[in-house]
Chain A
Amino acid sequence: MYGFEPSQEQQMLVDSVRRYATNDLRLAAHEADESGEFPHSVIRKGWELGVLQASIPEAYGGFGERSAVTGALAAEVLGWGDLAGALAVMAPGLFALPILSAGTEAQKLEHLPALAEGDWQPVTSAFIEPAFDFYPGQMRTAAEKSSDGFVITGEKACVPFADRAERTVVYAGVDGTPQGFLIPKGAEGYQICERERLMGIGGVPTFRIRLDKVHVPGSARLGGADGHDFAPILAASQVAVAALGVGLSQAAYDYSLAYAKDREAFGVPIAQKQVIAFMLAEMITEIEASRLMVWEAAWLMDAGHDASKAAYLALVSVSDAAMMVTDRAVQILGGHGYIREHPVELWMRNGRGIPAFAGLAIV
């Protein structure tokens, strides 16, 4: 059966995330983008919504089952609140969810309970690489087999909270196949570089990381000796980033729609001009269309199907929608859209990042 309505349980979660996104993320977003960080209290409050904890089973300290659909619904609303804030709140998932889906029993027991039962912690993952042609399927960071484990060399970009993360999942190619490695802070050759300066997502600190022959034991490999399937991790990440992008687009649409009904030009609200009204009609159509792509990809994951292509297409869809929608939102506000007092220019800056952000969030 087809179905297009969240379950009651999902709706309750969405509602509580919406309250947080409205009352906390939104209000702090501008300041965080300017100052470079969200107050810890805001991030902690987001963590206490329990979105991640609810995807971790009881056996590992959580209280639920992982569902990509539920995760995508929550991510959308967080993204609607603020993308940087959403990435910050979701950061521990970058570490926990790959372990949950691909880790050995020992890895799960070692890392998950402490994480799920505690406060928000700066654990993270290093995924993206600083190259114009970076593509997750072919990472330049390489893990060479050694007598007792691996030696990892390469460079990573956009690693959230790397400066304070005690543990990081670093992705590196083993004979060309991306694999996760659990690396503690302070490992020899693991160098955290200066904080990055990006066009958007100013509220979440991200860093470059240099790995210079970092030795890790075989047990650090996600999934143990045999490693793991990378595709589901990539798909879950594409779905997450796509869901965030839908939320961001919806935010820009909501804001510009309200503005268009209020702002008058030539004696009528600008929304009564077809050029404006049609822009809005196309914006909501693209948002809804790409949202359904995200839902379908997430559903495929939950149903145990191969979601790789669907997740990729969903992210392509959202990437275009987000750019189109945020650009138009700025346009609808005219000169005022260009001024940082209104949030639309921030959404436009953040929106441009969506196609590059796979790896920055996961559901």
Chain B
Amino acid sequence: MISFEMPETLSKTVVMMGSVAENMMRPVSRRYDDQEHEIPWDFISFMHEAMKAMGAGSLAPDRGVRKEGPRLGYQRLAFMIECLSWGDAGLYLCTPGGGLGAAAVEASGTPEQKERFLKRFSGDKPAFACMAMTEPQAGSDTAAIRTTAVRDGDEWVLNGEKIFVTAGHKSLVDTPGFVVVWATIDPAAGRAGMRPFVVEAGTPGCSVTKLEHKLGIRSSDTASVVLQDCRIPFDSILGSPEVETVTQKGFKKAMATFDATRPLVAASALGVARATVELLKELLDQQGIEIRYGLPRSLLTNLEREVIEMEVMLRSAWLLVLKAVWLADEHKPNTLEASMSKVKAGDVVTKITQRAVELMGPLGYSRDLLLEKWFRDAKINDIFEGTGQINRLIVARRILNYSSKELR
């Protein structure tokens, strides 16, 4: 059936998260942007309790969701993330719980591993997890990572350097969390040898060496993580320890994480986009400028035209997100839709925020308003979880039925 009826449980989620965003995030948004690297403990503790109260445990799709009834896990998450990012995209990334790290465990861990690694998120104290793929010499080209994992008896020994790890400091230093480290178990095998490993906070040989200073999402820490003869238990590998060069099964399964997380990053982008459109409309309204929907473009003022175009971009991108997470909840393949939603949301949020700053002139450029902050926050969505170009590649390979060799 084709339906756009919002399930009631989701409406409730939106109301609740909307109120968190408005009352707990917006008032401190500017402060944590100004004070880069100050940890928003008030927000973190509040969110930890709030998520526990919601029975969610963490921002993860399969926990805290009613067992009976339709599966709404990813849809619910998309709505939550959109709302929180409407509040503040950087602070959203400081929401305790699993983040991308837990998503990886969720997607390819065994039941025992899930129990072992994910339990902490519903404990007394907040905890974080993160995901480390990127290295200084390898970002988009993930197959070029050099971090190695070598088996030594019933342990793996990890060596390498990871950069740009979102929430790396919170996961490894500030809370008893973990990092999911991507490493190769067979450098000669290329992609087929890549596996995610869980490294828990406090593991000797794993250290945070740097915190980046960024254009936006400044309240979210972006860390370098160095692994130096870092020993972890053998069963901390996610997926099979065998190298299947032909099927690349282990690699592909792990990559499935991204089908789940890309629409969620897109949802976050669109929270920022919605915040921007709403504020822009409010500011125009205060000036007595009304948007006359329904007119042909030739009769619209430029401001009206811009706002209407923004609304079209925002809504159509959101519907792509919704379809992608709906597919995930239905256990249907969504690689194409996930990447489409990410491409579109990355474009939309950058365009909308860039134009809003321009349209508001000196006010838009001023730090009195949050528009300039959202402009800075927005851009990351075209970069992480696969750049706009990489997601276009994924879409293109799917529709053309090309391998990564045929379309590089």
Contacts and interface: CB of A to CB of B under 8 A. Distances in A.
B1 A5 contact: yes
B319 A133 contact: no
Given A133-B299, A285-B340, A289-B344, A277 B396 contact: yes
Interface string A301-319: 0010000110011001100
Contacts of A272: 402, 406-407
A69 B1 CA distance: 10
Contact of B309 (A69, A285, A292, A316): A316
A272 B316 CA distance: 28
A2 B75 contact: yes
A14 to B, nearest CB: 11
A271 to B, nearest CB: 5
Given A292-B320, A309-B293, A300 B4 contact: yes
A98 to B, nearest CB: 18
A4 B326 contact: yes
A271 B312 contact: no
A1 B395 contact: no
A338 interface: no
Nearest to A295: B2
Given A257-B399, A274-B407, A280-B399, A308 B1 contact: no
Contacts of A300: 4
Majority DSSP secondary structure for residues of B touching A: helix
Interface in A133-149: 133-137
A355 B294 CA distance: 12
Interface residues of A, number: 47
A316 B308 contact: yes
B298 interface: yes
A2 B320 contact: no
B311 interface: yes
Contacts of A10: 2
A313 B311 contact: yes
Contacts of B327: 4
A308 B408 CA distance: 44
B400 A280 contact: yes
Contact of A134 (B3, B4, B296, B320): B296
A175 to B, nearest CB: 19
A293 B312 contact: yes
B322 interface: yes
- Those 4 A-B pairs whose CB atoms lie nearest each other, nearest first: A292-B319, A289-B316, A277-B396, A281-B395
B119 interface: no
Interface string A249-264: 0000000010011000
A312 B316 contact: no
A10 B4 CA distance: 16
Contacts of A4: 2, 323, 326-327
Contacts of B406: 272
Contacts of B407: 271-272, 274, 277
B320 A312 contact: no
Nearest to B342: A285
Contacts of A313: 293, 308, 311-312, 315
A162 B75 CA distance: 49
5 contacts: A1-B5, A137-B295, A278-B392, A292-B319, A295-B2
Contacts of A3: 1-3, 326
B161 to A, nearest CB: 30
B173 interface: no
A357 B396 CA distance: 32
B312 A1 contact: no
Contacts of B399: 257, 280-281, 284
A295 B4 contact: yes
Contacts of B320: 285, 288-289, 292
